[in-house]
Amino acid sequence: MQKRIERPGPVLRPDGTLAERGYATRAVLNFNREAIKAPPWRIKEWDFYQVSNDRYCLQMTIGHVSYAGDVSVNLFEFATGRKITASSLLLLPFGRLGMPRSAEEGDLTYCGRGFVMQFLVRKGERRLICLADGRRGRPPVAVDIRLEQPDPTSIVMATPFDEDRRCFYYNQKINCMPASGVARFGDREYPFEPDSAFGLLDWGRGVWPFRHQWFWGNGSGWVNGRRFGFNIGWGFGNTEAATENVLFYDGTAHKLGHVYCDLAGGGYMARKRITSDDGRFDMEFTPIYDNYTYTKILFVETSCHQVWGRFNGRAVLDDGTVIEVKDLVAFVEHAVNRW
């Protein structure tokens, strides 16, 4: 059920189908965008960074669904629900954003009218920068965050879709990056310190069906003085070859099987239990904030409940070591899309 990809090679065959299906803990495959055989308006690419502590969360995105693009920075507070956003919506960007072909190297820069965003990748660290001049309905923004990347491990997925053999999702998620820096929105300042804040990268490239939904959960924190994190998810295509469920502890990845949760059952803000089929992930999830977003423009419609809360329970590593998790602030989300 958990096929590991270990040999280097291309993501796609010459006919546009996945060369291999499964997971890896490092990016051993090369994303060959030129091998995509689907129409250009079906290609989707994004770099999504999230930096959070127990009080607030910063999100920065550069991405597109070919006929529309989004460059945005958001910050929201869990206790108050206060949300601040600065964004630039792009019409028909297709491949003009210059998205890197790897999550491990290649800078990404967007420069618009009074709005600049940069994702800089260096050995062992990343830097996130955003500057907005406060015009065109945006608040003045100045963000400069440094993410340490002490661990080589991540979760990398090559996943097909049943709807169309040309559809695929190639994705890398990097957890447990201690964060330092400041995000300023108008007269408000939000500092991040590496003893309490972690960064996450969600790097995605693929061809998706127009209608789809997913469930995704992720968190990072300190447990027993060591970096601990998890990634869980389902609904991202056909996961018969492998799931994206994984634990991270002190730089090592520990693979999980299937994870179960009825996130909407009883309402998104109801307490939930999230478990894996092998019992190695068993958590009580107590929601504290629903970062709900909804967009509808012509035929494009997106809806997402990103529910933040506290995780309490146990996680079992490959060698049987039990990690006791207490009040780890993290999220689980349910997205329904037509794009």
- Residue 107 confidence (pLDDT): 98
| Mean predicted confidence (pLDDT) in 291-304 | 89
Report the alpha-carbon distance of residue 236 to residue 259 in Å, rounded.
Answer: 13
* Coil/strand/helix, residue 42: helix
Is the pLDDT score of 328 beyond 90? yes
pLDDT level of residue 224 (50, 70, 90 thresholds): very high
Other C-beta atoms within 10 Å of 88: how many? Answer: 19
Q: What mean pLDDT is predicted for residues 194-207? A: 98
pLDDT of residue 336: 96
The answer on pLDDT for 300 being more than 90 is: no
pLDDT at 319 over 90: yes
Position 299 scores a pLDDT of: 81
Cα pseudo-dihedral 65, 177, 5, 34, rounded to 10: 30
Give the pLDDT band of residue 296 (cuts 50, 70, 90): confident
pLDDT of residue 97: 94
pLDDT of residue 38: 93
Residue 42 lies in a domain: yes
pLDDT of residue 225 exceeding 80: yes
Query: Does residue 90 lie within any of the structural domains?
Result: yes
Percent of the chain with pLDDT over 70: 100
**pTM for this prediction:** 0.97
pLDDT at 95: 85
- pLDDT for the residue numbered 258: 95
Tokens 């129409």: give the residue. Answer: 39
CA distance 218 to 97: 27
Model pLDDT, residue 108 = 98
Q: At 12, is the pLDDT very low, low, confident or very high (cuts 50, 70, 90)? A: very high
Whether the Cβ atoms of residue 61 and residue 118 lie closer than 8 Å to each other: no
Mean pLDDT of the chain: 96
Q: Is the pLDDT of residue 1 over 80?
A: no
Residue 199 lies in a domain: yes
Has residue 4 been placed in a domain?
A: no
What is the band of 135 on the pLDDT scale with cuts at 50, 70, 90? confident
Check whether 63 has a pLDDT greater than 80: yes
Residue 3 belongs to some domain of the structure: no
Residue 2 in any domain: the answer is no
SS3 of 34, please? helix
* 282 domain residue, yes or no: yes
Q: Provide the residue range defining the domain that includes 145.
A: 9-338
**Is 1 a member of any domain?**
no
Give the torsion sign (CA, 50, 325, 336, 264): negative
Structural domains of the chain, count: 1
Mean pLDDT of 293-301: 85
Q: DSSP string of 134-175?
A: S-TTPPEEEEEEEEE------EEEEEE-SS-TT-EEEEEEEE
Contact 200, 178 (CB under 8 A): no
Q: Which helix (H) or strand (E) holds 328?
A: strand 322-338
- String of b and e for 133-161 (b: at least 16 CB within 10 Å)? eeeeebbebebebbbbbebebbbbbbbbb
pLDDT level of residue 137 (50, 70, 90 thresholds): confident
Rounded Cα distance, 296 and 303, in Å: 9
